[in-house]
């Protein structure tokens, strides 16, 4: 592992306050690998062998049952995933695949649990990370139970717009198929949802979206700080 990567990982909230020796031991046990686009990293139902940290690229968490599949979340650098399964020593509830060439840190889950027991500071950092993840899923769940598809899209656009600097235009971070699944709809329906938003100043050209009437879009979307997060 490169020193630069190591120091970047060390900067993560999760590892930052950890004892130096414990951190070194954890990293020594860890694997640092680069995966091509479309590689499946884990499969739901498997035992949680590793905690994953996305250092570069992008990872999609998804779930499937009964022939259907849904994107549950996207993990961007620097973010962890599948922490709860590792801590409970249980099976993964979600699968993961890269959706770009990605560099990923894989820490054997037994080592994570050991460090968790030995290092109080690490244990507390984990609580914070876990609580954040929990709240993120709750927000997502509220989004789906309380809004229609068009509203979800509108709020998502506003969020991307905000994160990308409020320039009046934004770039969709994923292809439309993935975005549709993330928002809980079919690609066809996403297309139509974009159509529905045209009267509200939403113009789409590939991954580029321009918002020419943010006021009316916001009126439609009714963003709510208890559902929508400010960060990407």
Partner DNA sequence: CGACGATTTGAATAGGATCAATGGGAGTGG
Partner DNA sequence: CCACTCCCATTGATCCTATTCAAATCGTCG
Restricted to residues 90-109, the positions that interact with a second copy (CB under 8 A) are 90-91, 93-94
Q: From the list DNA, a second copy, none, which binds 190 (C-beta under 5 to 8 Å, kind-based)?
A: DNA
Cβ proximity of 86 and 50 under 8 Å: yes
Residue 131: which H helix or E strand, with range? helix 120-146
* Stretch near a second copy under the rule CB under 8 A, chosen from 14-22, 30-38, 116-124, 169-177: 116-124
Rounded to a whole number of angstroms, the minimum distance from the CB of residue 194 to DNA is 6
Candidates 125, 150, 217, 221; binder of DNA (CB under 7 A) is 150
Residue nearer to DNA on the CB measure, 77 or 184: 184
CB of 115 to a second copy, least distance (A): 12
Per CB under 8 A, 126 contacts a second copy: yes
Strands 50-56, 79-81: parallel, antiparallel or unpaired by DSSP?
Answer: antiparallel
Minimum distance between the CB of residue 214 and a second copy, rounded to whole angstroms? 18
Quick check: 189 binds DNA (CB under 7 A)?
yes
Give yes or no for residue 227 binding a second copy (CB under 8 A).
yes
Closest distance between DNA and the C-beta of residue 189, in Å?
Answer: 3
Judged by CB under 8 A, which of 12, 63, 106, 163 binds a second copy? 63
Residues 7-26 that bind DNA (CB under 7 A): none
Q: Which two tokens stand for residue 52?
A: 């994953």
Instruction: Give the whole-angstrom CA distance, residue 221 versus residue 204.
Output: 17
CB-wise, 170 or 227, nearer to a second copy?
Answer: 227
Q: How far is CA 145 from CA 61, 108, 138, 152, 215, in A?
A: 20, 36, 10, 10, 25
Provide the CB-side half-sphere exposure for 184 (13 A, CA): 15
140 binds a second copy (CB under 8 A): yes
For residue 114, which phi and psi values (nearest 5 degrees)?
Answer: -60, -50
Q: How far apart are CA 157 and CA 169, in angstroms?
A: 10
177 binds a second copy (CB under 8 A): no
**Distance from C-alpha of 181 to C-alpha of 188, rounded to nearest angstrom:** 11
């Amino acid at each position: 592992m490169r020193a630069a990567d190591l120091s970047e990982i060390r900067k993560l909230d999760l590892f930052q306050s950890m004892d130096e020796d414990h951190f070194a031991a954890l990293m020594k046990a860890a694997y640092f690998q680069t995966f091509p686009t479309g590689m499946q990293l884990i499969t739901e139902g498997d035992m949680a062998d590793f905690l994953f940290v996305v250092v570069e690229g992008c990872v999609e968490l998804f779930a499937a049952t009964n022939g259907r599949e849904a994107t549950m979340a996207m993990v961007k650098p620097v973010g962890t995933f599948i922490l709860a399964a590792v801590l409970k020593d249980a099976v993964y509830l979600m699968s993961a695949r890269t959706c770009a060439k990605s560099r990923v840190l894989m820490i054997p889950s037994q080592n994570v649990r050991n460090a968790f027991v030995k290092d109080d500071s690490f244990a507390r950092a984990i609580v914070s990370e876990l609580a954040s993840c929990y709240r993120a899923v709750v927000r997502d769940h509220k989004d789906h139970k309380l809004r229609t598809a068009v509203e979800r899209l509108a709020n998502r656009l506003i969020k991307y717009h905000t994160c990308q600097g409020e320039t009046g235009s934004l770039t969709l971070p994923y292809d439309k198929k993935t975005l549709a699944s993330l928002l809980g709809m079919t690609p066809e329906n996403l297309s139509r949802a974009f159509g529905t938003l045209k009267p509200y100043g939403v113009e789409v050209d590939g991954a580029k979206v321009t918002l020419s009437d943010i006021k009316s879009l916001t009126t439609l979307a009714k963003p709510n700080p208890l559902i929508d997060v400010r960060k990407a």
